[in-house]
Each structure stands twice: as C-alpha cells, then as structure tokens.
Amino acid sequence: MTGPKIILDCDPGHDDAVAILLAARHCEILAITTVSGNAPLHMTTANALLMCQIAGLDVPVHAGADRPLLVPAAHAPRAHGHSGLDGPPRPEVHRTVNGNDAVGCIIETIRTHDDVWLVPVGPLTNVALAMRQAPDIVERLAGISLMGGAIGPGNVTPTAEFNIWADPHAAQIVFASGAPLMRMAGLNLTHQLCVGPDVIASLRASGGTVPEFVAGLFDFYLAGYRERADLDAAPLHDPCAVLAVTLPALFEFGARHVEVETAGELTRGMTVADERPGTDADPNCEIAYRIDAGAAMELIVDAVCSYD
C-alpha cells in the first residue's frame, strides 16, 4: 500500500481497531506499536494482532510500555470492556509479535526512513520514551498526528481526556518535543464523528467477516454510550488522527501553543491551549477544530467494507 509512511502507536480499543483498518488502506504502515491503555499491554497487543490477523495485514507488531512513566497504570473497561475489545465472538489469535521493544522499533524506523508520521492513538508512553532515548528522531519526523486531549470537557475527569490523563508526563514530553509538525485530534473534534445505528447497519449489509466483526464491536461500544451518556451515537476518536495525515483537507485546524497539566489536583492531564487573542505564545500544535464528518465516515465505512 502506498500513502504516507506511518507508525501507528495504539492501545486497541474499539476505535483503535478501526484506525488500524483505515490506516492499512490509506497509508504505508511501517509498524504497529502497542502500549498499556484501554486494557493492560498483553491485551492491547493481542487485540492489535487479532485485527492484523482477521484483516490479513502483513504489518510488524511490536509490544511496548506496560505502564506509564510515573503515574500508576489505568485502563478503560467501561468503554472497551476488560479485554479492550469486548463485543463480538473473539477468534483465537495465532499471529505473534515481531518484538517486545516498541521504543527501539520506533527509534530504528524513524532513523532508517525519511518522512515518517507518528500516529499515536493511546497514552504517549512509547513515544515519550523513544524521544527521551533518541532525541535525534524528532527532527527526522514528517510530523505527529495524535488523538488525545480536549479543548473543552474531558472524558475521564471534567478537564482531561483518557490518553493524556493516563500518562500526562509522557504527553508533556511529546507536546514540548519541538516536532516539525504536530496535529491534535481531541475530544472537541472526535465528538463530531459519531457511529450510530445507521453506520452499523451499513457495515452489516456489506456481508464480509471483517465488517461484521466491526459491527459487533460498534454494538458493544454504542451500548456503553447509550447507558452512560444516553446518546444514540458514539464518538469514533482514533481514526481522526489517521485522517488528519491522509486527508487534512477534511479538517479546520488552528495553530496554538498547547501544554499538558501534569500536577494539578483537579486538572491532571488537561491540555491547556493558549487561545488568547493576540497571544505571543509560539504555536507548537495544529489543533483540529472541525471535521467534515459525513465525508470522513464514508471513507471509514468504505475502508472497513473493503475487507472480506
């Protein structure tokens, strides 16, 4: 597959699983790296392998950090179940990892390929560790497109989004890294791209095993939002970070300076964006504020339905 070269760093996760399928159709995935997040590392890794297996993807998978830099590990069973990928019957996973050193894989891949995009859609532990160990990789990147943070309400606390809250120290390292280009798809953006019963029905109508599996994932994921938030639509966070690389024209971005609150009693993990008119703070991030959700969802459904 051609398209931008990416490393997809993820913690599957229902929306991570869809990000894998989407990225495989629109990018050259150099590696999938896994991190502790939605579920413990051994589960997020097994889930990444499962998605590669059912979709027939020949992409190396490397397991990474099993805990955040400083705070204790936390997971998201309410949204993703205890396996991280609850819902449809789970096939046995035969694929095995290509390595257990995601940080080394990230460093080596960026050093040996030009113009790589890092696409982190889980806690930023692997990425921060790689930057700390090999600062030279930062300037070699084409950019970083991450799902995380929020300009507005959080989803774990009133002010923090899960990926940033789960490892705020790693997130601050990444936002302060000086990467040539950084794009942020936060909750303010991802809540514009929602899966409802109509999307699930169109996946089922396609009749393939993979779309049926994803429909089963979405049944579980949507049921959680119905129960917890009384919503008949569930935000599809992680594919937004892939689309911000492959089709930036779908988005409206605003360049801002963003820092992460690592120590606040009430605000740990908050992404603090300087939105003051006339501020002299140098922007370090292109925040995605708007997405053409109709066009984005069509691309996602087409990508999922392209698998048997």
Q: Which residues bind ligand BDR (CB under 6 A)?
A: 13, 15-16, 38, 76, 79, 121-122, 147, 155, 161-163, 237-238
CA distance 81 to 221: 9
Start-to-end CA span in the chain (Å): 17
Q: Is 121 in the site for Ca ion (CB under 5 A)?
A: yes
Nearer to ligand BDR, 206 or 258 (CB): 258
Q: Closest separation between CB of residue 279 and ligand BDR, Å?
A: 27
Nearer to ligand BDR, 206 or 214 (CB): 214
Nearer to ligand BDR, 106 or 206 (CB): 106
Q: Closest separation between CB of residue 133 and Ca ion, Å?
A: 23
Nearer to Ca ion, 12 or 216 (CB): 12
Q: Closest separation between CB of residue 235 and Ca ion, Å?
A: 12
Three-state DSSP class for residue 92: coil
CA distance 15 to 287: 20
Half-sphere exposure in the Cβ direction for 214 (13 Å, CA)? 35
Judged by CB under 5 A, which of 16, 161, 261, 286 binds Ca ion? 16
Q: Closest separation between CB of residue 306 and Ca ion, Å?
A: 22
Q: Please confirm, yes or no, whether 238 is among the known catalytic residues.
A: no
Three-state DSSP class for residue 175: helix
In the set 9, 11, 15, 167, the catalytic residue is 11
CA distance 142 to 130: 16
Task: Dump the DSSP string for 131-174.
Answer: HHH-TTHHHH-SEEEEE---SS--SSSSS--HHHHHSHHHHHHH
Choices 12-20, 136-144, 192-200, 245-253 (CB under 5 A): range interacting with Ca ion = 12-20
Choices 152-160, 173-181, 238-246, 263-271 (CB under 5 A): range interacting with Ca ion = 238-246
Name the β-bridge partners of 119: 8
Size of the site for Ca ion (CB under 5 A): 6
How would you classify residue 140: left for phi > 0, otherwise alpha for psi between -120 and 50, otherwise beta?
A: alpha
Nearer to Ca ion, 120 or 206 (CB): 120
Sign of CA dihedral 280, 119, 47, 79: positive
Binding site for Ca ion (CB under 5 A): 11, 13, 16, 121-122, 238
Which residues are the active-site residues? 11
